[in-house]
Amino acid sequence: MIARRRQVALALTVLLAAGAACQAENRPERAPGRPAPTSAARGFTLVASGDVLPSASVIERAKFDAGGNGYDFRPMLAGIEPVVSRADLALCHMETAYGANGAYTGSPLFKSPPEVAAALVATGYDGCSTASEHALDDGPAGIVQTLDAMDRAGLRHAGTARTADEARTVTILQAGPARVAHLAYTDNTNAGAVPADQPAVVNPLDVQRIVADAHAARQAGADVVVVSVHWGTAWQDAPDQRQLTLAKQLTAARTGSRPDIDLVLGTHGQAPQAFEKVNGTWVVYGLGAQISGETAGGQSAQDPRGNQSTLGRFTFAPPAKAGGRWEVTRAEFVPQMYDLDAGRVVDLGAAIASGAELVPVRDRIRDIVFGRGAAKDGLVMGS
């Protein structure tokens, strides 16, 4: 694991109501032995990756890697750890609920081993969005199991809740000198409607609510507001019209001269989609699936796009004067793929540099990411 200076992330619980106060939670945010940060003196870097979607084959691979003693997802993620662990703040998307007592399943109703949470922390992730189409695959009990396991691992979460009070809070993570609010919402749930008697368990994708939550988090002390949205049409390389419309609405929301939202991270589409600067704010329409088994893309044949993804990396600089916006001074993407045969996440840049013949895969992802003109706004392919 690469050494770096990394401040202990401060988890703050903020009531989602105007004027709410910040209150620090006394819980550990870092696993022992994790490296320190390498952030610049006053700015910070944030990385974000897409769907963690353990299918049956992925679960079997983690069982094999554990040597018959539970499930170990750490080897699966080791290839991307150097990129993730260098960031001041790293966010993932946990698309599935965690099962209990060994009852773990893949599609269509996912129940993943809770050991995946500890593996994400070991890789360098600080928190995950959990609002997704599969959040309710094991009902409200699955949400409790998932969030309890994340808490035990020290992995923060946003988008689902065990109680109404928890649903009215947002976790703020410390990234260098900045406090970053992470909010998450989903456009649908695979298991059908949210239970009428437990409407708070999953955050619905509603523009007015998102803007109100972002505004409240800002008033309560967030320097940067990041919104994860589970949206879009699966297996579509280009964002659909609803994504485009929502992106414009979310990035147009302002309080005075300052935007309410500083970064939008999209998930769900399975395949990677474009990055774009909309109303001066970076939007990732679809990060793709970081971990996923064999996928057919609606057809009978295996579709390799379902195992391709990106990791977004954004460098933020502080405002020139108090109360101003933290600006993204560098926007990058790192192309990735999940190797089905090896059961490993592959950093394509590093793999190609070592001689692997994966240039066509990298180039396809690159072309998709640049598909809406992000190069002109400074997006580059990172390593």
- Answer whether 214's CB lies under 8 Å from 181's CB: yes
Looking up residue 18, the CATH number of its domain turns out to be 3.60.21.10
Within 13 Å of residue 40, how many CA atoms lie on the same side as its CB?
11
Residue at 1 is within a domain: no
- 122-168 residue pLDDT tens: 999 999 999 999 999 999 999 999 999 999 999 999 999 999 999 99
| Residue 374 pLDDT | 98
Give the C-alpha separation, 290 to 47, whole Å: 13
- Asked, for residue 79, whether it belongs to a domain, the answer is yes
Token pair belonging to 321: 């004067």
Q: What share of the chain is helix, strand, coil (3-state, %, to 5)?
A: 25, 30, 45
For residue 303, give the 3-state DSSP assignment: coil
CA 262 from chain centre, in angstroms, equals: 15
Report yes or no on 251 lying in a domain.
yes
Q: Are 62 and 31 in contact (CB under 8 A)?
A: no
CA distances to 52, 214, 231 from 223, rounded to whole Å, are 28, 11, 25
Domain containing 282 equals: 12-381
Question: For residue 139, is it within any domain?
Answer: yes
Asked if residue 3 belongs to a domain, the reply is: no
Preceding peptide of 140 cis, ω within 30°: no
Q: Is residue 286 in a domain?
A: yes
Per-residue pLDDT of 168-221, as tens digits, reads: 988 899 999 999 999 999 998 876 667 777 777 999 999 999 999 999 899 889
Q: How many domains does the chain have?
A: 1
CA-closest candidate to residue 3, choices 82, 120, 76: 82
339 occurs within a structural domain: yes
Instruction: State whether residue 218 is helix, strand or coil.
Output: helix
Q: Which tens digits make up the pLDDT trace of 253-292?
A: 999 889 999 999 999 988 999 999 999 999 999 999 999 9
Residue 2 inside a domain? The answer is no
**What letter represents residue 197's amino acid?**
D
